[in-house]
Structure 1
Amino acid sequence: MTNKWTNIVLALVALTSGVHAMASTYPVTVTDIAGRTVTLPSEPKRIVIQDGRDILTLALLDRSNPFARVVGWNNVLGKNDPGVWKVLLSKWPAAGKIAGISFSSDGQVGMEQLIAQKPELMIAKLRFRKLFQATGVMDKLAQLQIPVVFVDHEEDPIAHTTASIILLGKVLNRENEAAQYATFYQQHLKAVQQAIARQKARPSVFVEALAGKSGLDTCCFTHGKKGWGDLIEAAGGRNLGAQLLPFPTGNVAMEKLLALQPDVYLMTGSGWTNKQSAAIPMGYGSTNAKVKASFGPLLKRTGFAQLKAYKTDRVYAIYHQFSDHPFNIVAVEHLAKDFYPEAFTALDPNNTYQQIIRQFTRIPAVPVITGAPVIKQ
């Protein structure tokens, strides 16, 4: 285990220690993932979610109904992950009536929509902090005495995922539930890291994020030091995107990949509904047949047959949503198994996913495809 990951595992152990069998006492003061001190006068009963994917974190905390406190949100699930949204609606149909609030990618917020819901808390993504400051949103919310807590599963997914869950556990008076999942996460990460530490060489890895989403004429968008980049490193891979990109994300030409010849090639996919999508339909509502049918066109793109990873059958597909997801430990397990198949023969990431669903949430335990080897057609 590298010093970085040793330190993170130790930090997670410390984070989960001493938080069992506790209840929040209000007013409660917390430090959010942005390092801000936030005080909540009472347990929030009316919440606005800036990014709808964070409902999956609430599913770990408010288990009987993660939507119970949500009075307004930006339902990105309906567009970006319709399969999981359908599953959530099947269990909690009233969620379809929650007010939509406009949150743009440049930090603009539909303030009238937000204020109308009389929220007692807004949960927001860390990457939006500077945007909200620049657009004056933070000042407006402060004037309205609406607390904001920033969480993160993407900018630094391994370090911030359990920290975000424990943070919200304290904010929402769900410390026991938060500690239970954080302990599970830490145990699984430690097991992976211990096995990786015994390996002699780290494979070079390239991840094509959103593979095929914009059609078959585009390649190859990737992550550097964020999201999939950090998950690859946590699973014992050497992320080529980190050395190729000056920014957190960007495009790498196929010619560059042919020169570097990564040992492993990853393609992330999801059930996107845009017309031009040729993506691998990973996630809920898909089938093995649909997943396999999507491989051929992607593998026939220019240059692919010359990649070493293609020739050695080391091309893999994985559920894209794990790049910003509280269950990203499942992605770490999938990647570790892909990188070191002989070291992880007994590891079953799909079982880990279902264990999370059954043990820590009330989300229906229906079939979901989270990872798969990409088979030549």
Structure 2
Amino acid sequence: MKKTLHWIAAIALWSITCLSYAAPIVIEDVSGRKVEIAGETKRIILGEGRQIYLLAAFDTDVPFKRVVGWRDDLPKADFDGYMAYEKQFPSITSLPTFGGAKDGTFNVEQALTLKPDLVLMNLESKAATDEGKLIEKLEQLGIPVVFIDFREKPFENAEKSIHIMGQLLNKSQRVQEIIQFRRDQIAVVEERLKHYQGPRPTAMIDRAGGYDDECCMSFGNENFGKMVEVAGGSNIAKTAIPGTFGILNPEFIISARPDVVIVTGANWKNYNTANKWVGVGPGADTAEATKRLTALMQRSAFKTLPLPYQPGYWVTLPPQQK
């Protein structure tokens, strides 16, 4: 009898432990949706390949160990970064790939076969997922969708997104480490500018300059546009572009006469582009980058501006924010 009671107690303890471990968690994503997740996430579909940057900050040993499928954008948006990952983790070449939610090519049936715990989406695809009822289709199959954001409103949503990833992976301590590192880097800039009383240089951000023949994609008062303001400058597009992304025509730029033009770039050779972009980042050919940057400065929007340009003045934009 005594032995039987011991077995009953052991089974009860095991049951309680299992129930506790499997207990679902409720996450509020950056779109404000409450999403129920069945415990720690172990099988993820990345709705954008560049989300691996965040996941890798948590799973530093094997960044892809939870990834069962991902969107096919990383080799296009950051070819050099993708090749660095492939060299270290060659198995990623066999990962199933998906189209994008925004262009309506995300394959729901394919997602089901991979048995993911969730699909991670970027906030900018929310309108498209709503229109195509993608969230409802996936949730009917028992696949929750969670939105994060480092692009639309990074000042508002970056830390939220880091917290969300920490909840999904059950890594609360790592959340604090990543957030503190980010805050420390921002503080370096803010500290240097704390007592500055001089003029704020006006800046025009040529977003992905040379990506196509049009001039010029830029940022409103968010993303890099807001970073310019925090860094002590004045973004000429902050009122001209109502949202995060938009277009400035050459006449507006000439009239605004910015003190600084910041051209952002990466290796986009796998995109269908005009092939005039400035390739910067790991493995970049600096001579070629300088040549392309010089050519971009000859466009009508810039060639009449009194810019203190010297070859080598460029800024690279993290590929996830192109």
SS at match of 1:149: strand
The Cα shift of 1:311 comes to 4.2
Evaluate the alpha carbon distance shift between residue 275 and residue 107 of structure 1 in structure 2; reply closer, same or farther with a 3 A threshold: closer
Evaluate the alpha carbon distance shift between residue 44 and residue 312 of structure 1 in structure 2; reply closer, same or farther with a 3 A threshold: closer
Name the TM-score, length of structure 2 as normaliser.
0.86
The Cα shift of 1:211 comes to 0.4
Is the 8 Å Cα contact of residues 83 and 284 (structure 1) preserved in structure 2? yes
Cα RMSD, aligned residues only: 2.2
2:258 paired residue number: 262
1: CA distance, partners of 2:303 / 2:128: 42
Is the 8 Å Cα contact of residues 40 and 169 (structure 2) preserved in structure 1? yes
2:192 paired residue number: 195
The number of residue pairs the alignment matches comes to 299
1: CA distance, partners of 2:243 / 2:180: 33
Bigger drift between 245-254 and 219-228 goes to: 245-254
SS at match of 1:146: coil
The partner residue of 1:272 within 252, 268, 283 is: 268
- 1:326-347 superposed Cα distances (whole Å, 9 cap, x missing partner): xxxxxxxxxxxxxxxxxxxxxx
Evaluate the alpha carbon distance shift between residue 130 and residue 251 of structure 1 in structure 2; reply closer, same or farther with a 3 A threshold: closer
The residue correspondences of 1:214-253 to structure 2 (distance < 5 A) are 214-215=212-213, 218-253=214-249
- 1:216-269 superposed Cα distances (whole Å, 9 cap, x missing partner): xx3221111332212222322211112212443222222222211112111111
Partner AA of 1:286 in structure 2? A
1:370 paired residue number: none
2: CA distance, partners of 1:312 / 1:128: 37
The residue correspondences of 1:303-322 to structure 2 (distance < 5 A) are 303-308=301-306, 310-311=307-308, 316-321=313-318
Partner AA of 1:97 in structure 2? S
1:131 paired residue number: 128
1: CA distance, partners of 2:55 / 2:24: 21
Evaluate the alpha carbon distance shift between residue 307 and residue 315 of structure 1 in structure 2; reply closer, same or farther with a 3 A threshold: farther
Bigger drift between 57-66 and 136-145 goes to: 136-145
Is the 8 Å Cα contact of residues 269 and 279 (structure 1) preserved in structure 2? yes
2:15 paired residue number: none
- 1:164-184 superposed Cα distances (whole Å, 9 cap, x missing partner): 112101111122222211111
Task: Check if 1:41 corresponds to 2:38.
Answer: yes
Is the 8 Å Cα contact of residues 219 and 244 (structure 2) preserved in structure 1? yes
The Cα shift of 1:314 comes to 11
Is the 8 Å Cα contact of residues 78 and 319 (structure 2) preserved in structure 1? no
The partner residue of 1:204 within 193, 202, 205 is: 202
Evaluate the alpha carbon distance shift between residue 247 and residue 158 of structure 1 in structure 2; reply closer, same or farther with a 3 A threshold: closer
2: CA distance, partners of 1:179 / 1:303: 44
- 1:153-197 superposed Cα distances (whole Å, 9 cap, x missing partner): 011112322221121011111222222111111112123123223
Is the 8 Å Cα contact of residues 26 and 43 (structure 1) preserved in structure 2? no
1:27 paired residue number: 24
2: CA distance, partners of 1:293 / 1:26: 57
The alignment-based identity, stated in percent, is 28
2: CA distance, partners of 1:263 / 1:322: 25
1: CA distance, partners of 2:160 / 2:173: 14
Bigger drift between 312-321 and 292-301 goes to: 312-321
1: CA distance, partners of 2:61 / 2:101: 30
Partner AA of 2:80 in structure 1? G
- 1:65-96 superposed Cα distances (whole Å, 9 cap, x missing partner): 11111111102111111100000001111111
Is the 8 Å Cα contact of residues 157 and 324 (structure 1) preserved in structure 2? no
2: CA distance, partners of 1:123 / 1:220: 31
Partner AA of 2:160 in structure 1? A
| Greater C-alpha radius of gyration | 2
The residue correspondences of 1:1-377 to structure 2 (distance < 5 A) are 26-200=23-197, 201-215=199-213, 218-273=214-269, 274=272, 276-308=274-306, 310-311=307-308, 316-321=313-318, 324=321
Name the TM-score, length of structure 1 as normaliser.
0.74
The Cα shift of 1:281 comes to 0.4
Partner AA of 1:27 in structure 2? P
Partner AA of 2:57 in structure 1? L
- 1:262-319 superposed Cα distances (whole Å, 9 cap, x missing partner): 12111111111146211110122213223222222112223523212x2465994222
Unaligned runs of 5+ in 1: 1-23, 326-377
